[in-house]
Amino acid sequence: MESRNFLRFLFIFLSLSLVLFFTWVHLPYAPLPNSTTDLLDCSTNSPWCTSKNRFQPINKPSTADNILEKPPNPKHHNHESDTPHHPLDPLTISEINKVRTILKSHTLFKSSSPRAFHSIVLEEPDKTLVLKWKKGDSMLPRKAAVVARVAGKSYVLTVDISSGEVAVQETGSRSGYPTMTIEDMTSSTWAPLSNADFNRTIIERGVDLQDLACLPISLGWFGENEENRRLIKVQCYSMKGTANFYMRPIEGLTVLLDMDSKEVVEISDKGRDIPIPKAANTDYRYSVQEINPEMMFVNPISIEQPKGPSFTVEDEHLVKWANWEFHLKPDPRAGVIISRAKVRDPDSGEMRNVMYKGYTSELFVPYMDPTDAWYFKTYMDAGEYGFGLQAMPLDPLNDCPRNAYYMDGVFAAGDGTPYVRSHMVCVFESYAGDIGWRHSESPITGMEIREVRPKVTLVVRMAASVANYDYIVDWEFQTDGLIRIKVGLSGILMVKGTSYVNTNQVPGQQNLYGTLLSENVIGVIHDHYVTFYLDMDIDGSDNSFVNVNIQKQRTSPGESPRRSYLKAIRNVAKTEKDAQIQLKLYDPSEFHVVNQMKRTRVGNPVGYKLVPGGTAASLLDHDDPPQKRGAFTNNQIWVTPYNQSEQWAGGLFVYQSQGEDTLAVWSERDRPIENKDIVLWYTLGFHHVPCQEDFPIMPTVSSSFDLKPVNFFESNPILRIPPNVEKDLPVCKPAASA
């Protein structure tokens, strides 16, 4: 008994250490991360800056040189006194505590039955009320949307924070369970140690229990034997000799666990002949690298703003920059939500509506290995794990540049207690030498004209570390009215152990399901699909979707020396099925969202267009169980009528769902969408065939798409912005040259 208690204590300790590991922000593998001592400090009162060389000491200037000291770390905000200023502001600490108090006295929670709060967030007011509300008006009633499980049953509740009234919503007969709580995940990692067979297996595999790290892995849905109870699979790794335990899998060992009772249902151990990969060369932390000074490619770089940033954040959540304003808030499931995005018209000065609400709705990550220990790895990162719950504190100077503004997330734990996720989101201005517009006249015209405008943008960034994988999501606003949404993939591959140390050992016909990255390590092929919810409100809520198909036209004999040309044919979608789009390279289209009731001076309907970037499409069979659940990736574009209950592309309850409550199902209703309040959905996709450069940690790979004005303005909206001139910019020099 003492031995078992010791093991349980030990594994709880290790699990808590693992949680801390997930909440740290690790420094990049290479090159040297930025630090405040490496970057130039510019002052408005002095043209001089300091730059401390990484390898050669430089004398520090005297205080007479008026050098700024190290910039302060981002300020820690005390959220205890937060109050809402806008109807869309997230719940405050005091509001979450009040919701918790109200629910304690509700009949549903009075019993001693097991219960957990899987989500406590703002229930946003009706859209029509929010659109009418303006600063100075009375605050709209504050309500909380609560997802809870009591005695093994899932509930959706609405809590009126002022009156204390609680309404239990009808959830219907949908399958699936709510997003896991952090407590679900952490407790599942240590639960197997209460099973003697599991402990024996670990020791027989040659792993000390003190070196064990385990991960909670959602299991998707693959049939009736997985129904009627919350199940999770647990797989483990060896931490010995490295922080990068992901590269040391105990291959073939999978524990099936009842997530509620923590009972071990089944242990599958089919990889005893596969060695645990060695720890050598797997650690990615800068502190353990052998640094070769000749490999330091670039000197420190920093964008300096002596007058400070050009944006403001009013009342904690209202961002104003250049010609943009929008509401910004962290969310435990979506990560970041952008609302009420408006852009100023350069002619009228009016703030014009562009987007009511935009966010990451779901992430679908299927791995392409059908074997026993891998077939179920088909993650829904937002609906199963909580994309925002996995967001990590951002690292100043490396995740976000100097002069960034940091925003915290305030979330509820499984028992309803509020907690703060510090520095979850950052906002900063970006300049990468890009050009907003330019034109130079050729000498043959005799006109000496060279007009160029720099492109400065505003970026909203978050980064989520969903166990091994890191996602960076940027919402980038440009002064020309364009919004660019970019997703970056980094972090660590989920790898498979193998007996092979070289490709010459692999039989010609054997499928590795991936790439041999290092000795005994296979990077398994997988996909990433990130689906965005985009409630476009172009100069009002009633919009239409237009497929502008670009078709080849042939000229008639004798009509022209040309044989062919292109013609744009506008097709206004009448119903949802008209707007189910699969991108085709040789059948191109533009995809416009327009307000047909608002026209430009010359008669074009005002609008925005979705400009797809590099993307990938799912190749899985539609009747494959993971694809049934991820059917929202069957098309890259969908358009649905606005419905407040249709926000999550994979359904409200995603965990172990069967795919009967997805975007694909809703869209089959084929509802009218012309001149309606419509929602645009777009899926950004990646196929990932791992390569050795992804080992032991992946360089970031990114893709993006744009929301671009199309006949929204009367002319180029940044025509009148000024060019840069030398006198307006700080002059920074290394201290050594001062």
Residues annotated as catalytic (active site), given as ranges: 381, 469
Distance in angstroms (rounded) separating the CA atoms of residues 145 and 133: 21
Distance in angstroms (rounded) separating the CA atoms of residues 572 and 583: 17
Conformation bin of residue 224: beta by default, left when phi > 0, alpha when psi is -120 to 50: alpha
What lies within 8 Å, CB to CB, of 196 at 6+ separation is none
DSSP-assigned letters across all residues of 333-349: TTEEEEEEEEEE-TTT-
* 430 close to 107: Cβ distance less than 8 angstroms: no
Distance in angstroms (rounded) separating the CA atoms of residues 46 and 68: 9
DSSP-assigned letters across all residues of 132-180: H--TTSPPPPPEEEEEEEETTEEEEEEEETTT--EEEEP-TT---BPPP
Distance in angstroms (rounded) separating the CA atoms of residues 166 and 99: 10
Distance in angstroms (rounded) separating the CA atoms of residues 624 and 614: 25
* 693 close to 663: Cβ distance less than 8 angstroms: no
CB atoms within 10 A of CB 192: 24
* 629 close to 380: Cβ distance less than 8 angstroms: yes
The tally of CA atoms less than 13 A away on the side-chain side of residue 398 is: 16
The secondary structure element, H or E, covering residue 697 is none
Distance in angstroms (rounded) separating the CA atoms of residues 562 and 557: 10
